[in-house]
Each structure stands twice: as C-alpha cells, then as structure tokens.
Amino acid sequence: MMLMQRYSLIWDCCCDHGLLGMSLLQKHQAEKVIFVDILAHQMNTLETKLTKYFPLNQFDWEVRCQDVKTVIVPDVAPQLFIIAGVGAFQTIEFIKSLYASAQGVEFDLLVCTVHGSHAVRQALIRLGFKLKSERIIVENNRFYEGLYVSTVGDERIVSTGNTMWNWSDPLHQKYWEKLINHYTKKAATDPDQFQPVLAQYTSLTQKGTDCYQPNASLV
Ligand SMILES: C[S@@+](CC[C@H](N)C(=O)[O-])C[C@H]1O[C@@H](n2cnc3c(N)ncnc32)[C@H](O)[C@@H]1O
C-alpha cells in the first residue's frame, strides 16, 4: 500500500466491485469512503454487500452511481481520489475534471492506469501536481505504475518515472524493455509524437545505472 496517511475522505472512483474501497474501510484508512461507478446494477450489488459487511453504525461509506466526470470535489481535507484499472485517456479526463471542479481545494490522487502512464504523468505535470511516491507494480506478468500525487508538495513528477526504478531488479529491467519496444513501434508510425518519448525512456538507463546493460538489440 502506497498511502502515507489517513484521510477524512477517500473516493474509490470507477470502483467496479469496490474491492479497493472495502479494503480501505477495513484498514480504517479513511473516516469515510465514497464508491463511484457508472454501472447501476454493480452499485446496487455493492450497496447490499457494504450494508452486510460494513454496517453504517460502524463504518461510514456512500455509494454513488455517477459519472466520475460529474463529481465535484468538496472542501474536505485531507482527501484522496483513487482512479485504478482505467485506460490512460479516461484517467486523464477524470483528473482534469476533478481538478477543474476543485477550484483550489487541495487533494491527493492515487492513480494506476492500465496503460499509458507517460501520458497520465504529462497531464499531471501540466496541471501542477506534485509527487508523493511512485511504484512499479507487477501482477500476473503485467506491469502497472502506481502514482501517488498531490495538488501540493515540492517533488516534481518525471514523465518517465524517477524514484520508482530499481535497475538491479530484473522485473524493472523487463518493464523498461517493454516500454522501449512499445515506443519504438509507436515512433515508427508517428515519429513526431513518439520519438521524443522513446528518447526519454532510452536515456533513463544512461542516467540511472552502471549495473544494467540493456539488450543491445533494443536501443
Ligand atoms: C476495470 S474496472 C476498474 C476496477 C477497479 N477500479 C480496480 O482497479 O480493480 C473499470 C470500471 O470503470 C467504470 N467506469 C467507466 N467509465 C466510468 C465513468 N465515466 N464514471 C464512473 N465509472 C466509470 C466501469 O463501469 C467499470 O466498473
């Protein structure tokens, strides 16, 4: 778990079965958890489950069948939004609309997209978010980036990731190779957009380590 503090309010956005939010309720990570998803039947099922396992006389939660793009960030602190398991394009849309609705209210974000962390990072950088922590997550042979950021702070976000890389970890090397392969293909079809991204990832290993010798065929 990447979270560094307890929150007054946590939003489990695009919660689906609500597993993430339920584990946060279980750990008392927040005074209240709001579950948001656009699927009505899923939210009905979730509400029944929460009522059974997290009775409202012991836990505080709310289920909202709502488009995340219509959520208005309330003036509550500290407050966290979690967006996990959604594609980069949608994640960026959600972040932009939350940021616009917040009107200066501070909040933290925990983001874990299915693909396209580079684009999500660039959007966060443009909006002025700051890094709290970042992590490479490997699950069922798939790679994800866990990005924990805030509207306030000092540490800048780097579009290729920075502190998350451990170059002596073979899984991190494998993830890097996957990214290089992916952006090599993208750069072949759209060099203007993706050659710079490829160059950023390629230069990471030159900066980051003397102990990792990337596969020469890849770079
Ligand atoms: C793959 S699930 C994510 C599950 C969960 N967050 C996780 O990490 O395990 C994606 C969910 O996003 C929901 N979703 C898609 N667009 C949405 C939107 N605009 N507003 C709210 N929920 C949305 C879908 O209904 C679906 O339940």
Answer yes or no: do 41 and 133 share one domain.
yes
Instruction: Write the CATH number for 76.
Output: 3.40.50.150
Atom of ligand 1 nearest to the CA of 82: 6
Tens-digit pLDDT profile for residues 107-118: 999 999 988 999
Rounded mean pLDDT of 190-208?
89
| Structural domain span for residue 64 | 7-164
Ligand 1 pocket at CB < 6 A: 14-16, 20, 36-39, 42, 67-69, 84-86
Give the tens place of pLDDT for each residue, 90-148.
Answer: 999 999 999 999 999 999 999 999 889 999 999 999 999 999 999 999 999 999 999 99
Per the structure, how many domains does the chain have?
A: 2
Contact (CB, 8 A) for 32 and 61? yes
Could you tell me if residue 219 is inside a domain? no
Q: Let me know if residue 2 belongs to a domain.
A: no
Q: What is the pLDDT of residue 1?
A: 72
Model confidence at 58: pLDDT above 70: yes
Query: Which of 2, 37, 140 gets mutated to test ligand 1 (max ligand atoms within 8 A of its CB)?
Result: 37
Higher pLDDT, 1 or 11: 11
Q: pTM of this prediction?
A: 0.93
